[in-house]
Amino acid sequence: MPTLHLQSDSLPQTGDTKIVTASSLHLSLSQPPKSFYRHGWQSWSLTAWTDPIRELPVMKPTSFHSRQTDPVYARYPHPNGSWLGAVELEDGSILFLGALELNAHVAVREGQLQGWYESGGGEWFVGRGEEINLFEKYAELLGQRFGRVTVQEHPRVWCSWYSLYNNINENNLAKALNGLGDLPFDVFQIDDGWQVSTGDWEPNEKFPSGMEAIAAKIKATGRKAGLWLAPLAVSKHSSIYKNHPDWLLHDLSGKPYVAGFEWSAEMYALDTTHPEVIKWLRELIRKIRGWGFDYLKLDFLAAGAQPGKRHEDIPRETAFRRGLQVMREAAGNAYLLFCGTPILPALGVCDAIRVGADVANFWDSRFYSYLLYNQTTPSMLNGLRTSVNRLWLKPLVHVDPDVAFFSETKSLTPQQKRLFLDLTEVADFKATSDLPHQWTEAQREEIRRWLESRPRVERIGRYTFSIDGREVDFGPAMPLPPLPNFFDGIVGGILGVLGNQFWALKIWHWLIRYALAKKDSEKIA
Ligand code: 9PG
């Protein structure tokens, strides 16, 4: 299929759109654009309007690339994004280019907005005009091709991660469940920490009564029972790694592809084109459904869409979507939240997508966001920025911006907490991880009102919304940090190199755990 070159005079006029078929498409820009909408590959990857000329510094540490962004383009030297992109023109209109099939990428280079399919070709949506309108049209076309969510109710979730982290056990979860009382949470979701290892999805020694017992306890409170798992990731310590090396995705030299690390060891990925993997995935999801869980948070999914050698030679996102569909079928009518997932391949398969980086109970980290120039690591600001820039997905799928914080914390101002609460209203997805026994009576009432509210939300501009008539502006949180100066660039470079060493990561991780454990020791029963 040929590359199509479209000159400015053949570009759509303002207000026009068209669908063209091509392996790659080059749209000539008659003027330097004002900004570029870069769309991150997976849930946590940065999505924002950025500099259209100069690419951002390579995100560090580079050893994080395969778990935070699309590693294929992590060092691409021009502004770029996954499947879609847009440039803002002098007159305030935008030129939009969006793929209507998987395995596509968009960039600004050589005075052009370029898009290409990694293999073969496919359809593109091209449009020029008003921004909100074009994103809406694109979402509509994606819905026709990939499907959209049909579940009406937006769940209100208590999730164990952002207070207890890996330190969950039967006792502290029971205490949290009791503490919720009659607050209208629809889901009680157990996060990472219950399993033997990534790949061995059986309860560990902290869950001696088994997972059926805890699911039953949750359901006895009238709530859905939620469970986290990372079905496409495989730890070096797991039995799959030992017994089924042929199930793994391999790199071109034939070694198991490293899809990240678990601080102490490499993490690998399952090859979703392998028939035995498909069978294993189906049985895994059925087993978890059999335990009684009916809300599944499937995480680190991007592992299954990494580049590499597969049993069947098909494009990586096509292979990945096949794995997702098998899990969807096996899950029946359970609610599926996909996390750490490439966005387009997940459409029509799940009920909700995490659309931003992890939040944290602090606003931002200068260390990560500025020195390492990495906006995918946990912070309230990183979660908020990418989620706000992904709100156009809302007609297609429930958008999860991650959890809100209510408990007292010195690291978030009331205004910062409020801004995130406003985002949960706009996204219409409400979750928290706060420990209920730490809430004051006044906070419990605030949470009840928040869970019960269904305000009328209208979009006014790119970052402004009206929530029951009150205007909210996310704009001030949208700019990226300045580029590191010469000295900070050198510091960041050294830190980045350290971040690529296992021994340094281990010390780093140990220090974080130590700090968290000290802070949380009083919280954990
Ligand atoms: C459990 C957590 C929680 C959380 C998920 C995910 O390396 N990373 O960039 C990275 C990002 C997010 C992350 C872990 C690692 O958190 O988003 O809600 O479920 O896993 O381990």
Closest-CA residue, ligand 1 atom 2, reads: 192
Quote the mean pLDDT of the chain: 93
Cβ-proximal residues to 387 (8 Å cutoff; 6+ apart), any chain: 355, 356, 399, 401, 402, 423, 427
Looking at residue 369, its amino acid is S
Q: Which residue has the higher pLDDT, 296 or 371?
A: 296
Please classify residue 31 by burial: count the beta carbons closer than 10 Å to its beta carbon, then call 0-12 exposed, 13-18 middle and 19+ buried.
Answer: exposed
State the distance from the centre of ligand 1 to the C-alpha of 245, rounded, in angstroms.
Answer: 25
The candidate with the shortest Cα–Cα distance to 355, out of 341, 345, 334, is 341
To test the pocket of ligand 1, the residue of 192, 301, 402 to mutate (highest count of ligand atoms within 8 Å of its CB) is 192
Least confident window among 236-240, 273-277, 495-499: 495-499
Least confident window among 231-235, 262-266, 414-418: 262-266
Half-sphere exposure of residue 276: CA atoms within 13 angstroms, side-chain side: 8
Distance CA 121, CA 354 (A): 28
Distance CA 68, CA 303 (A): 10
Distance CA 265, CA 269 (A): 13
Number of H helices, E strands in the chain: 15, 27
State the distance from the centre of ligand 1 to the C-alpha of 190, rounded, in angstroms.
Answer: 14
Quick check: 278 pLDDT over 70? yes
Q: What is the pLDDT of residues 454-476, one digit of tens each?
A: 999 999 999 999 999 999 999 99
Q: Which atom of ligand 1 is nearest to the CA of 43?
A: 17
Q: What is the pLDDT of residues 244-272, one digit of tens each?
A: 999 999 999 999 999 988 766 789 999 99
Half-sphere exposure of residue 360: CA atoms within 13 angstroms, side-chain side: 14
State the distance from the centre of ligand 1 to the C-alpha of 229, rounded, in angstroms.
Answer: 11
Distance CA 181, CA 199 (A): 34
Burial 421-438 (b: 16+ CB within 10 A, else e): bbbbbbbebbbbbbbbee
Cα torsion angle, 444, 445, 450, 451, sign:
positive
Cα-flanking dihedrals φ and ψ of residue 284, to 5°? -60, -50
Output the pLDDT for position 497: 85
Distance CA 33, CA 30 (A): 9
Residue 503: pLDDT band by 50, 70, 90 thresholds? confident
Closest-CA residue, ligand 1 atom 16, reads: 358
State the distance from the centre of ligand 1 to the C-alpha of 45, rounded, in angstroms.
Answer: 12
Please classify residue 274 by burial: count the beta carbons closer than 10 Å to its beta carbon, then call 0-12 exposed, 13-18 middle and 19+ buried.
Answer: buried
To test the pocket of ligand 1, the residue of 65, 166, 299 to mutate (highest count of ligand atoms within 8 Å of its CB) is 299
Give the C-alpha distances (Å, rounded to integers) separating 491 from 108, 378, 487: 29, 21, 6
Distance CA 97, CA 95 (A): 7
State the distance from the centre of ligand 1 to the C-alpha of 358, rounded, in angstroms.
Answer: 6
Least confident window among 13-17, 280-284, 382-386: 13-17
Strand partners, 222: none
State the distance from the centre of ligand 1 to the C-alpha of 391, rounded, in angstroms.
Answer: 21
State the distance from the centre of ligand 1 to the C-alpha of 330, rounded, in angstroms.
Answer: 24
Residue 8: pLDDT band by 50, 70, 90 thresholds? low
Please give all residues whose beta carbon lies within 6 A of any atom in ligand 1, as ranges: 44, 64, 67-68, 161, 191-192, 228, 299, 339-340, 358, 376
Output the pLDDT for position 517: 61
Q: What is the pLDDT of residues 424-458, one digit of tens each?
A: 999 999 999 999 999 999 999 999 999 999 999 99
Output the pLDDT for position 519: 58
What single-letter DSSP state applies at residue 31? S
Please classify residue 354 by burial: count the beta carbons closer than 10 Å to its beta carbon, then call 0-12 exposed, 13-18 middle and 19+ buried.
Answer: buried
Q: Which atom of ligand 1 is nearest to the CA of 377?
A: 9
State the distance from the centre of ligand 1 to the C-alpha of 120, rounded, in angstroms.
Answer: 33
Tokens (6 digits) for 227: 């469970």
Q: Which atom of ligand 1 is nearest to the CA of 297?
A: 19
Output the pLDDT for position 5: 75
Residue 525: pLDDT band by 50, 70, 90 thresholds? very low
Tokens (6 digits) for 491: 């510091």
The string of DSSP codes covering 195-207 is: EEETTEEEE-TT-
Distance CA 304, CA 107 (A): 24
To test the pocket of ligand 1, the residue of 161, 227, 365 to mutate (highest count of ligand atoms within 8 Å of its CB) is 161
State the distance from the centre of ligand 1 to the C-alpha of 352, rounded, in angstroms.
Answer: 16
Closest-CA residue, ligand 1 atom 1, reads: 192
Cα torsion angle, 183, 185, 190, 191, sign:
negative
Closest-CA residue, ligand 1 atom 17, reads: 358
State the distance from the centre of ligand 1 to the C-alpha of 136, rounded, in angstroms.
Answer: 29
Q: Which atom of ligand 1 is nearest to the CA of 339?
A: 17
Residue 113: pLDDT band by 50, 70, 90 thresholds? very high
CB 319 within 8 A of CB 272: yes
CB 375 within 8 A of CB 387: no
What angle in degrees, to the nearest 10, is found between the helix axes of 414-427 and 380-388? 30
Please classify residue 358 by burial: count the beta carbons closer than 10 Å to its beta carbon, then call 0-12 exposed, 13-18 middle and 19+ buried.
Answer: buried
CB 263 within 8 A of CB 269: no
CB 42 within 8 A of CB 317: no
Cα-flanking dihedrals φ and ψ of residue 75, to 5°? -115, 15
| Angle, CA 187 vertex, CA 189 and CA 397 arms, to 5° | 95
CB 41 within 8 A of CB 65: no
Count of beta carbons in the 10 Å neighbourhood of residue 93: 17
Q: Which atom of ligand 1 is nearest to the CA of 64?
A: 7
Tokens (6 digits) for 345: 């391949």
Output the pLDDT for position 524: 46
Q: Which atom of ligand 1 is nearest to the CA of 340?
A: 17
Q: What is the pLDDT of residues 167-213, one digit of tens each?
A: 999 999 999 999 999 999 999 999 999 999 999 999 999 999 999 99
The helix/strand/coil state of 119 is coil
State the distance from the centre of ligand 1 to the C-alpha of 487, rounded, in angstroms.
Answer: 31
State the distance from the centre of ligand 1 to the C-alpha of 402, rounded, in angstroms.
Answer: 11
Quick check: 520 pLDDT over 70? no
Give the distance from CA 125 to its chain's centroid.
Answer: 24
Q: Which atom of ligand 1 is nearest to the CA of 260?
A: 7
Give the C-alpha distances (Å, rounded to integers) separating 260 from 265, 303, 316, 376: 9, 8, 17, 14
Q: Which atom of ligand 1 is nearest to the CA of 358?
A: 17
Q: Which atom of ligand 1 is nearest to the CA of 402?
A: 18
Q: What is the pLDDT of residues 68-102, one digit of tens each?
A: 999 999 999 999 999 999 999 999 999 999 999 99
Distance CA 227, CA 294 (A): 8
Strand partners, 473: 464
Looking at residue 408, its amino acid is E
Q: Give the whole-number percent of the chain exceeding pLDDT 70.
A: 96
To test the pocket of ligand 1, the residue of 41, 42, 43, 44 to mutate (highest count of ligand atoms within 8 Å of its CB) is 44
Distance CA 361, CA 66 (A): 25
Closest-CA residue, ligand 1 atom 21, reads: 192
Closest-CA residue, ligand 1 atom 15, reads: 67
State the distance from the centre of ligand 1 to the C-alpha of 359, rounded, in angstroms.
Answer: 10
Q: Which atom of ligand 1 is nearest to the CA of 191?
A: 19
Distance CA 442, CA 166 (A): 29
